[in-house]
């Protein structure tokens, strides 16, 4: 189990000069902490901020972690902090989205955290809907809401959350990691802060770091569902998920992080999940026309788990690869 992030201590002393503070808020007064990690999204950040500020309440706090932005993010936040003293801004050297989220969680006071991406926006009454859910189901470790996905060409799609059964951790991990039957996204989900402190975002990963956290949350507490859309989530062509730098090393590290946070009963899934990561690399290499690389990734996956590798869609792609030779 990864080391927990400890609340309190000397974290406040690490704030950069000019950081806004809201020390009047104390634990027990805040239900929901909205945390926005921001890096070079000055042109979109006001949309995210406004979507939260319009529905602020006494039991909500808003924290922005400026992750070493080099654009006008600092100026945008300074202006907002003057007009909205309830906004807390934390400035840090660039360390990545995982580190920014961890810092925001560490500094927050809420029982629950909503991690809103700087280029997304909450929909009206999203916080009220979440407040109502946790009031009726206080044991929930996650609340998954619907979202409106906005694509670069302007198309929009409503995505509803799927129900998550109360079953064994092994079955839940399998549904999420291997069967892809559970979808979890930032911006439209609420997480219990005490669980986030137990399983911090792995800061050694740049991309896919949320999977380890989501898997841990899923097997640690019940999941509640909101079928109403809570956020508009904007997709961008330059997303980190499209980066292929050090892809094989990142895939192996991701497996280690995911299963390092899961209970013993989930460990039998590890080889199948590692095979699944290599099959994802196989598919990407195949689409890029890199046949030799694709073949190597498929062989790695097959050695790890023939069962996973021989599933219909993967096998069809492998057969197509052989026909090209």
In the predicted model, residues of the chain with pLDDT beneath 50 are 1-25, 240-241
Ramachandran category for residue 139: left, alpha or beta (phi over 0 → left; psi -120 to 50 → alpha): alpha
Residue 122 sits at φ, ψ, to 5 deg, of: -75, 150
CA–CA gap between residue 233 and residue 248 (Å, rounded): 28
Residues 6+ apart with CB under 8 A from 39: 66, 67, 68, 69, 73, 94, 97, 100, 118
Chain centre distance of CA 92: 20
Question: What is the CATH architecture of 11-240?
Answer: Alpha-Beta Complex (3.90)
Instruction: Name the pTM for this structure.
Output: 0.87
For 119-136, write each residue's pLDDT tens digit. Answer: 999 999 999 999 999 999
What residue segments make up the domains of the chain, in order of their start? 11-240, 263-324
Ramachandran category for residue 212: left, alpha or beta (phi over 0 → left; psi -120 to 50 → alpha): alpha
Residues 6+ apart with CB under 8 A from 5: 102, 105, 106, 196, 197, 200
For 30-40, write each residue's pLDDT tens digit. Answer: 999 999 999 99
Residue 178 sits at φ, ψ, to 5 deg, of: -105, -40
For 248-297, write each residue's pLDDT tens digit. Answer: 999 999 999 999 999 999 999 999 999 999 999 998 998 888 989 999 99
Burial class (CB in 10 A: 0-12, 13-18, 19+), 160: middle
């Amino acid at each position: 189990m990864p080391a927990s992030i400890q609340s309190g201590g000397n974290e406040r002393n690490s704030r950069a000069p000019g950081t806004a503070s809201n020390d009047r808020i104390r634990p027990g007064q805040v239900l929901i902490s909205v945390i926005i990690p921001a890096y070079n999204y000055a042109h979109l950040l006001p949309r995210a901020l406004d979507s939260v500020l319009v529905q602020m309440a006494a039991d909500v706090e808003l924290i922005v972690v400026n992750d070493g932005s080099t654009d006008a993010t600092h100026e945008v936040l300074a202006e907002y902090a003057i007009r909205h003293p309830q906004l807390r801004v934390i400035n840090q050297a660039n360390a990545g989205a995982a580190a920014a989220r961890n810092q925001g969680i560490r500094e927050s006071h809420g029982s629950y955290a909503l991690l809103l991406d700087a280029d997304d926006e909450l929909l009206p009454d999203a916080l009220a809907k979440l407040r109502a859910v946790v009031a009726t189901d206080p044991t929930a470790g996650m609340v998954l809401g619907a979202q409106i996905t906005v694509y670069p060409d302007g198309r929009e799609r409503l995505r509803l959350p799927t129900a998550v059964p109360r079953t064994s951790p092994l079955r839940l991990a399998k549904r999420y990691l291997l069967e892809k039957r559970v979808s979890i996204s930032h911006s439209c989900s609420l997480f219990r802060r005490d669980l986030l402190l137990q399983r911090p975002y792995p800061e050694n990963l740049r991309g896919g770091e949320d999977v380890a956290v989501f898997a841990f949350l899923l097997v640690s507490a019940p999941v509640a569902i909101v079928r109403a859309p809570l956020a508009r989530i904007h997709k961008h062509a330059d997303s980190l998920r499209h980066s292929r730098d050090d892809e094989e090393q990142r895939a192996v590290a991701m497996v280690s992080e995911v299963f390092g946070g899961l209970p013993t009963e989930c460990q039998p899934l590890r080889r199948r999940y590692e095979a699944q990561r290599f099959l994802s690399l196989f598919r990407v290499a195949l689409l890029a026309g890199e046949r030799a690389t694709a073949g190597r990734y498929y062989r790695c996956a097959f050695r790890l788990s023939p069962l996973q590798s021989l599933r219909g869609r993967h096998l069809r792609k492998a057969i197509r690869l052989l026909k090209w030779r």
